[in-house]
Chain A
Amino acid sequence: MFSIWTPRKSDDEVLIAASGKGDTEAFDELIRKYEKRVYNFAYRLTGNSSDAADVAQEAFIRAYRSVKSFRGDSSFTTWMYRITTNIYLDMRKKASFGKVVSIEERAEKKESGRSAEIADPAPPPEELAITEERRKIIRDAVNSLPEQHRIVITLFRFEERTYEEIASILNIPVGTVKSRINRAGLALAKILQARKDELF
């Protein structure tokens, strides 16, 4: 005989508790709910869809393995960000993991010729609108940032996490989060400055 089963509530706590007891359907519901966010975060970290799928998939697998021990100290979202970040960092160490194209080399080559250039007498603008072309350059620049900087920029500016959430995700003090974000923003601006001929 069939058993009558009523649809579960889409409440994270209920789903997490059920997942912890081995309920794969409950976990499937969690995947459904968070796959877009986790995948996009992984994509922003890795810069390509193939690695993003690997990272995001592994993040959910790892989450399922340890869902029993999830105590709810942070939100499920923060927890998934933490897992995804750690997996990304682990995978970066593997040689087979896709390399993000660095434009710093290009920038350095350009730098050597700069002293011979005649300075543009017109002052640069105060504001720069983000055109499609500039978006690509910024994207490249973000991808070329050192890991630590790229991660905090991604979490703070793109994923719009708070300082406290980022501190929890990365397991670092809030003060360190703030200074790392500032340094990352500056580093990003400097990378863009090396490509200013394309931007202005």
Chain B
Amino acid sequence: MILYLARRILYAVPIALAVGFVCFMLVQIAPGDPINAIVPPDAPADVVEQVRRDYGLDKPLPVQFGLWLSKVVVGDLGRSLATGRPVWADLRSAIGNTLMLAICASGLGFVLGCILGGLAGTFRGSAIDRGATGLAVAGVSVPHYWLGMVMVVIFSVQLNWLPAMGAGPGGSSDWGWDWDHIRHLVLPTITLSVIPMGIVTRTVRGIVAEIMNQEFITALRGKGLTRLGIFRHVVKNAAPNALAVMGLQLGYLMGGSILVETVFSWPGTGLLLNSAIFQRDLPVLQGTILVLAMFFVALNLLVDLVQTALDPRIKRA
């Protein structure tokens, strides 16, 4: 176990480095001189040369990567072209908002998915199964940014129940646990939860159906165990896999919420990315992608470790 832990963590290091390299290359593949990602296009030529030397952009690519990496490691992601502020400062508050949205959405999706998938797996071939499977397919096929718009049309425009935009009253981006803030969370959460709902339903249905077919369930039934008792055994067997799927979904939502955040003007990393794309603000684009990708790498590692710890059947060395 310890050996596996050490090996798995060691294996994540080159992946993280390579992910960093891909993010570093984002500025290099951008059309035009990478120097334009640091100085505004109307800067005088001698300033441009000065900055080029300061940033080491006259050096070969591997050296540049090393320089960039040494800055990133201490949290220096450069400065935004549009605002001139450090990228990390803007990113920090945005990550909090995105994380909260992603946690709420994946939580809701997980609960719904487990209920639907559990029912579908238990009563295979029934009307419940067909309904749940249909919902799951719809959940993974729906363009969630469109679903967000439909929700806004129904609940904000037509019924006027819930706000359509922002994370708080008056466009505030600081979170507070009061009704005014929670109201803003409802629609984005439901919209974003559709994807994990679909995927978790499919996974749980498969796992439960497989477990119900196994002999120990027949044995338990023969022993005279109640339905609740059997249910406990099924949950114990299904939990590690279901939790692993759910953990990865949280990561996908962190990276994938950009479209939903755009629809609802949710002040998270997605909105930050969107404005960075719009203004061609490459340092912000690079920094945000890097942090989100690193989060995903870390989450992957965590899911692997937790799954190994939870599931006594997995023996890795």
Is chain B a partner of chain A in the same complex? no
Q: Which B residues fall within an 8 A CB radius of A?
A: none
